[in-house]
Amino acid sequence: MKLGEGVEQAIHSVLLLAGLPVDGVLPASALAEYFGVSSSYLLKHLQALAGAGLLLSVPGPKGGYRLAREPAHISLLEIVLAIEGPEPAFRCSEIRQRGPSPIAQHFHKAPCGVTVAMLRAEKAYRAELEKISIAALSVDPRSALGAALKSRSCEFLETHQRRTLPRA
Protein backbone atom coordinates (compact mmCIF):
# COMPACT_ATOMS: atom_id res chain seq x y z
CA MET A 1 0.00 0.00 0.00
CA LYS A 2 1.30 3.40 -0.91
CA LEU A 3 -0.04 6.44 0.88
CA GLY A 4 0.13 9.80 -0.83
CA GLU A 5 2.64 12.47 0.12
CA GLY A 6 -0.24 14.45 1.56
CA VAL A 7 -0.55 12.03 4.46
CA GLU A 8 2.99 12.79 5.64
CA GLN A 9 2.44 16.51 5.21
CA ALA A 10 -0.86 16.36 7.09
CA ILE A 11 0.56 14.39 10.03
CA HIS A 12 3.56 16.71 10.42
CA SER A 13 1.32 19.78 10.09
CA VAL A 14 -0.94 18.49 12.85
CA LEU A 15 2.12 17.78 15.01
CA LEU A 16 3.38 21.34 14.53
CA LEU A 17 -0.05 22.81 15.22
CA ALA A 18 -0.16 20.79 18.45
CA GLY A 19 2.62 23.05 19.76
CA LEU A 20 0.59 26.24 19.41
CA PRO A 21 -0.85 28.04 22.41
CA VAL A 22 -4.63 27.91 22.77
CA ASP A 23 -5.09 31.24 20.98
CA GLY A 24 -2.53 30.59 18.24
CA VAL A 25 -3.07 29.78 14.58
CA LEU A 26 -0.73 29.27 11.65
CA PRO A 27 -1.57 30.21 8.09
CA ALA A 28 -1.25 27.50 5.46
CA SER A 29 1.55 29.47 3.80
CA ALA A 30 3.63 29.34 7.01
CA LEU A 31 3.11 25.59 7.36
CA ALA A 32 4.13 25.10 3.73
CA GLU A 33 7.24 27.23 4.27
CA TYR A 34 8.18 25.33 7.43
CA PHE A 35 8.07 21.99 5.62
CA GLY A 36 9.33 23.25 2.25
CA VAL A 37 6.25 22.02 0.37
CA SER A 38 3.78 23.47 -2.11
CA SER A 39 1.38 25.85 -0.40
CA SER A 40 -1.54 25.00 -2.71
CA TYR A 41 -1.03 21.23 -2.28
CA LEU A 42 -0.81 21.54 1.52
CA LEU A 43 -3.83 23.85 1.64
CA LYS A 44 -5.95 21.15 -0.01
CA HIS A 45 -4.98 18.74 2.77
CA LEU A 46 -5.47 21.27 5.55
CA GLN A 47 -8.99 21.88 4.23
CA ALA A 48 -9.63 18.13 4.26
CA LEU A 49 -8.44 17.96 7.88
CA ALA A 50 -10.73 20.85 8.78
CA GLY A 51 -13.62 19.16 6.97
CA ALA A 52 -12.98 16.02 9.03
CA GLY A 53 -13.16 18.04 12.26
CA LEU A 54 -9.47 17.64 13.10
CA LEU A 55 -8.49 21.27 12.47
CA LEU A 56 -10.27 24.57 12.85
CA SER A 57 -9.95 27.06 10.05
CA VAL A 58 -9.95 30.61 11.39
CA PRO A 59 -10.85 33.11 8.64
CA GLY A 60 -9.59 36.63 8.24
CA PRO A 61 -6.28 38.48 8.20
CA LYS A 62 -5.27 36.99 11.55
CA GLY A 63 -6.59 33.59 10.57
CA GLY A 64 -5.03 30.24 9.94
CA TYR A 65 -5.30 26.73 11.31
CA ARG A 66 -5.22 25.16 14.75
CA LEU A 67 -6.25 21.85 16.23
CA ALA A 68 -9.96 21.29 16.74
CA ARG A 69 -9.28 18.76 19.52
CA GLU A 70 -6.57 17.92 21.98
CA PRO A 71 -3.60 16.01 20.44
CA ALA A 72 -4.45 12.96 22.57
CA HIS A 73 -7.84 12.80 20.83
CA ILE A 74 -6.55 12.86 17.24
CA SER A 75 -5.44 9.50 15.84
CA LEU A 76 -3.24 8.78 12.87
CA LEU A 77 -6.13 6.84 11.35
CA GLU A 78 -8.33 9.94 11.39
CA ILE A 79 -5.65 11.89 9.54
CA VAL A 80 -5.11 9.13 6.97
CA LEU A 81 -8.85 8.80 6.35
CA ALA A 82 -9.26 12.58 6.02
CA ILE A 83 -6.56 12.70 3.33
CA GLU A 84 -6.96 9.35 1.55
CA GLY A 85 -10.68 8.78 2.08
CA PRO A 86 -12.47 5.93 3.83
CA GLU A 87 -12.39 3.40 1.00
CA PRO A 88 -10.20 0.32 1.53
CA ALA A 89 -6.85 0.37 -0.26
CA PHE A 90 -7.69 -2.95 -1.92
CA ARG A 91 -10.69 -3.01 -4.19
CA CYS A 92 -11.71 -6.35 -5.67
CA SER A 93 -12.81 -6.07 -9.30
CA GLU A 94 -13.66 -9.78 -9.56
CA ILE A 95 -11.13 -10.59 -12.27
CA ARG A 96 -11.72 -14.27 -11.51
CA GLN A 97 -15.01 -13.94 -13.42
CA ARG A 98 -13.33 -12.68 -16.61
CA GLY A 99 -11.60 -14.41 -19.46
CA PRO A 100 -12.53 -17.52 -21.41
CA SER A 101 -14.62 -20.28 -19.83
CA PRO A 102 -15.45 -18.62 -16.48
CA ILE A 103 -16.75 -20.92 -13.76
CA ALA A 104 -20.41 -20.87 -12.75
CA GLN A 105 -21.76 -17.69 -11.14
CA HIS A 106 -22.82 -19.45 -7.91
CA PHE A 107 -19.10 -19.98 -7.06
CA HIS A 108 -18.71 -16.21 -6.80
CA LYS A 109 -21.33 -15.52 -4.13
CA ALA A 110 -18.75 -15.30 -1.35
CA PRO A 111 -15.68 -13.04 -1.57
CA CYS A 112 -12.54 -14.79 -2.77
CA GLY A 113 -9.71 -15.61 -0.41
CA VAL A 114 -7.61 -12.76 -1.81
CA THR A 115 -10.25 -10.18 -0.89
CA VAL A 116 -10.76 -11.67 2.57
CA ALA A 117 -7.01 -11.66 3.29
CA MET A 118 -6.48 -8.11 2.00
CA LEU A 119 -9.39 -6.68 3.96
CA ARG A 120 -8.28 -8.50 7.12
CA ALA A 121 -4.80 -6.98 6.74
CA GLU A 122 -6.27 -3.51 6.20
CA LYS A 123 -8.45 -3.90 9.29
CA ALA A 124 -5.33 -4.68 11.36
CA TYR A 125 -3.46 -1.73 9.80
CA ARG A 126 -6.30 0.64 10.59
CA ALA A 127 -6.62 -0.70 14.14
CA GLU A 128 -2.94 0.07 14.75
CA LEU A 129 -3.25 3.60 13.34
CA GLU A 130 -6.31 4.18 15.53
CA LYS A 131 -4.21 3.42 18.64
CA ILE A 132 -1.61 6.12 17.88
CA SER A 133 -2.48 9.66 18.86
CA ILE A 134 -0.72 12.86 17.87
CA ALA A 135 0.18 13.29 21.54
CA ALA A 136 1.96 9.92 21.49
CA LEU A 137 4.14 11.10 18.60
CA SER A 138 5.47 14.13 20.42
CA VAL A 139 9.21 13.92 20.94
CA ASP A 140 10.56 14.40 24.46
CA PRO A 141 12.05 17.93 24.47
CA ARG A 142 14.73 16.72 26.92
CA SER A 143 16.24 14.44 24.25
CA ALA A 144 18.76 15.81 21.77
CA LEU A 145 16.32 15.39 18.88
CA GLY A 146 13.47 16.87 20.92
CA ALA A 147 15.57 19.90 21.86
CA ALA A 148 16.57 20.47 18.23
CA LEU A 149 12.97 20.17 17.04
CA LYS A 150 11.73 22.45 19.80
CA SER A 151 14.35 25.06 18.98
CA ARG A 152 13.44 25.00 15.30
CA SER A 153 9.70 25.11 15.86
CA CYS A 154 9.74 27.67 18.71
CA GLU A 155 11.67 30.18 16.64
CA PHE A 156 9.44 29.61 13.64
CA LEU A 157 6.21 29.76 15.64
CA GLU A 158 7.25 33.00 17.34
CA THR A 159 7.68 34.60 13.94
CA HIS A 160 4.70 33.12 12.08
CA GLN A 161 1.90 32.34 14.48
CA ARG A 162 -1.07 34.64 14.80
CA ARG A 163 -3.09 35.14 17.95
CA THR A 164 -6.87 34.88 17.93
CA LEU A 165 -9.60 34.40 20.46
CA PRO A 166 -9.29 31.24 22.59
CA ARG A 167 -10.97 28.03 21.43
CA ALA A 168 -14.58 27.61 22.41
Instruction: Please report whether residue 68 resides in a domain.
Output: yes
Residue 58 bridge partners (DSSP): 64
- Residue 113 domain flag: no
- Does residue 111 lie within any of the structural domains? no
Q: What is the pTM of this model?
A: 0.83
For residue 166, pLDDT over 70 is answered with: no
In a domain, 39, yes or no: yes
In a domain, 9, yes or no: yes
Establish if 120 belongs to a structural domain: no
Residue 108: Cβ within 10 Å count: 13
Residue 2 has pLDDT above 80, yes or no: no
In this structure, what CATH number is given to the domain that contains residue 77? 1.10.10.10
Amino acid letter at 100? P
Query: What are the two backbone dihedrals, phi and then psi, of residue 3, each rounded to the nearest 5 degrees?
Result: -90, 150
In order of 44, 50, 92, the CA distances from 68 in angstroms are 17, 8, 36
Tell me the pLDDT tens digit for each residue of 149-164: 776 776 677 777 777 7
**111-151 per-position pLDDT tens digit:** 888 999 999 999 999 999 999 999 998 877 777 776 677 76
* Separation CA 44–CA 47 (nearest Å): 5
Instruction: Look up residue 67 and give its DSSP letter.
Output: E
Residue 25 CB-density burial (10 A; 0-12 exposed, 13-18 middle, 19+ buried): buried
Residue 117 located in a structural domain? no
Give the total number of structural domains in the chain. Answer: 1
- Which residue range(s) make up the domain with 153? 5-87+133-163
Is the separation of the CB atoms in 132 and 76 below 8 Å?
A: yes
- State the Cα torsion 109-114-116-122 to the nearest 10°: -140
- Residue 43: is its pLDDT beyond 80? yes
